[in-house]
Amino acid sequence: MALKSEISQPNLHDYHNQALSKSRQIEAEACSSIDLDSNPFLILLMGSTGTGKSRFIGVLSGNDMGISKDQLEPYTQDVIAYKISNLTHFGAPIYLVDTPGFSDPKLSEMRIVTKLHSWMSINSVDYFHHLFYFHRITDPRLSGSNARTMEIFRSLTGNGTSETVTVVTTMWDTLWRPEQVRRAEARFNELQKEYFKDWVEEGSKFAKFMNTQQSVLSILAEHLKGSKPLDFNFERSQGAFPCHSLYADALQRNLLERISSLQKRLKSTTDDLQTALEDDESMDLQNILKRQKRVIIEDIQTTLQDMDDYGHGLDIDTYRADPEQIFSHLNTKYYPEIQEHLLAEATTYLLLLKVDDTADEQSKGVIWSRYCERMRFLHIYNPTSYPSLHM
Ligand SMILES: Nc1nc2c(ncn2[C@@H]2O[C@H](COP(=O)(O)OP(=O)(O)OP(=O)(O)O)[C@@H](O)[C@H]2O)c(=O)[nH]1
Ligand SMILES: [Mg+2]
C-alpha cells in the first residue's frame, strides 16, 4: 500500500473507508515553502489550461478554496504548492504542486517553464516523485498546440521517465447520456493507443477523475505506488537562457507559433477596423475593434519579451563592442533556428510600426531600433538573404 491516512488504517481497502469517513479532515493548504527535512512526497500537476488541475486539489480538500476557476479564462498564474494534511505517503507529507496551464493566450509555455524552474530553485526542490498530466476527456481531439505542450512536458523530464507519469482525464462527471459516455470511453482508449502511445509503452498510466474526493484518493492510492524521485532536465541543461536548455526546441517552436498567430490576428483586426472606419460603422463596433487591437498588441509585446528572454534576442551593445560575440554566444548548430527567431521578431516589430497608431514617437523609436538590431544580426548570419541596412 502506497498511501495511508495518518489517523490509522494499514491497507488500501481500509484506507479508502477511512478517507471517505474522515474526508473533512483532509485539507490542502497553500504553503510558501517546502519542509525538505520531512522528506516530502512531491507531486507535480501540469497540463493545458482549464483541464482541472486546481479542481483536483480543491476537491481533495473537500472545499474548492477558490483555486479553480469558474470561468473559461485561465486562472492559476503561479506555481503553488499545497500541503495535504492528514494524508501521508509512507509517513512522508504529501505536497501537490499546482502550475499555470499550458495554451494560455496570456502566458507562454516558456514563461510557465521558467516559473517552474525558479520555483524549484527558490525551494531547493530538484525532483518530483510523480507527475500528473491533465487532459479533459470531453476535448474532441488533440490540437497541434496540445501536441506541442505534451512535447514540452516530456522534454522537461527527459527520456525514460514515463513510469512516473499519470495522465489524469477529467470531466467524466459531466457526461450523463449513454452516448456521451460511450464516446468518452472510445476517446479514453484512443488516447492511450494513439496520442499517448509512446508514454503508455514506456509505462505511463491513465486515470479517470470523477470530480469527487474519493476519486482523488483512489487515483493517489493507485498511481503513487513505486514512485521514486525524478530529476528534471533543468539541472542537466547548460547555460543561463532557456535557449540553452534540453527542452529549448519545443519552447522555441511554441513561441514562433504564438507570434505568428498574433501577427495574423493583428493584421485581420486592423483590416476590420479600417473597414469599420471607412464604412462609418457604429461607434460601438469601432470601439470593440479598437479594444481588440489593443489587447492583441499587448499580447504581442509580452510575446516579444518572452522571445527576448528565451535568449536569441542579442544585446546590440555587446555586439557593437565585439561583433564576434554573436558567434561565441550561440551554438552554430542552431543557425537556422536563430534566423527564424530573429526574422519573426523583426517582422513583428515592423508590423507594430505599421499598424500601432497609438504609439508615441519615443516608443516608435525603440521599436525601430529593435527592428534594426534584428536585421543587423540576420545580415551577419546570412548576408545573401539579408543585405546590410547601412545604418
Ligand atoms: N464538473 C467538472 N468540472 C471540472 C472538472 N475539472 C475541472 N472542472 C471545472 O473546469 C474549470 C477549470 O478547472 P480548473 O481546475 O481551474 O483548471 P486548471 O487546469 O487549474 O486551469 P489553469 O489554472 O488555467 O491551468 C473549473 O470551473 C472547474 O470547476 C471535472 O472533472 N468535472
Ligand atoms: Mg489552475
| Number of other residues whose CB lies within 10 A of the CB of residue 354 | 11
pLDDT for res 6: 39
Above 60 in pLDDT, residue 12?
A: no
Above 90 in pLDDT, residue 186?
A: yes
Cα of 55 to ligand 1 centre, how many Å? Answer: 5
pLDDT band at 232 (very low <50, low <70, confident <90, very high): low
How much is the average pLDDT of 222-239?
68
Pocket test for ligand 1, best of 49, 54, 136, 212 (most atoms within 8 A of CB): 54
With a 6 Å cutoff on the Cβ, whether 76 touches ligand 1 is yes
How much is the average pLDDT of 139-152?
76
Domains annotated for the chain, with CATH where assigned, are 27-239 (3.40.50.300), 247-381 (no CATH)
pLDDT for res 3: 40
Q: Which residues surround ligand 2, an ion (CB under 5 A)?
A: 53-54, 75-76
Pocket test for ligand 1, best of 44, 69, 181 (most atoms within 8 A of CB): 69
d(CA 108, CA 97) in angstroms, rounded, equals 19
Query: DSSP secondary-structure letter at 241?
Result: S
With a 6 Å cutoff on the Cβ, whether 49 touches ligand 1 is yes
pLDDT for res 265: 96
How much is the average pLDDT of 58-63?
80
Which pLDDT tens digit goes with each residue over 245-272? 777 888 888 899 999 999 999 999 999 9
With a 6 Å cutoff on the Cβ, whether 52 touches ligand 1 is yes
pLDDT band at 82 (very low <50, low <70, confident <90, very high): very high
Q: Say which residue, 31 or 327, is predicted with more confidence.
A: 31
Tell me which residue has its CA closest to atom 8 in ligand 1: 52
pLDDT for res 22: 39
Cα of 49 to ligand 1 centre, how many Å? Answer: 8
pLDDT, averaged across the chain: 82
Q: Say which residue, 124 or 21, is predicted with more confidence.
A: 124
How much is the pTM?
0.84
Q: Say which residue, 156 or 159, is predicted with more confidence.
A: 156
How much is the average pLDDT of 53-58?
93
Pocket test for ligand 1, best of 68, 169, 173 (most atoms within 8 A of CB): 68
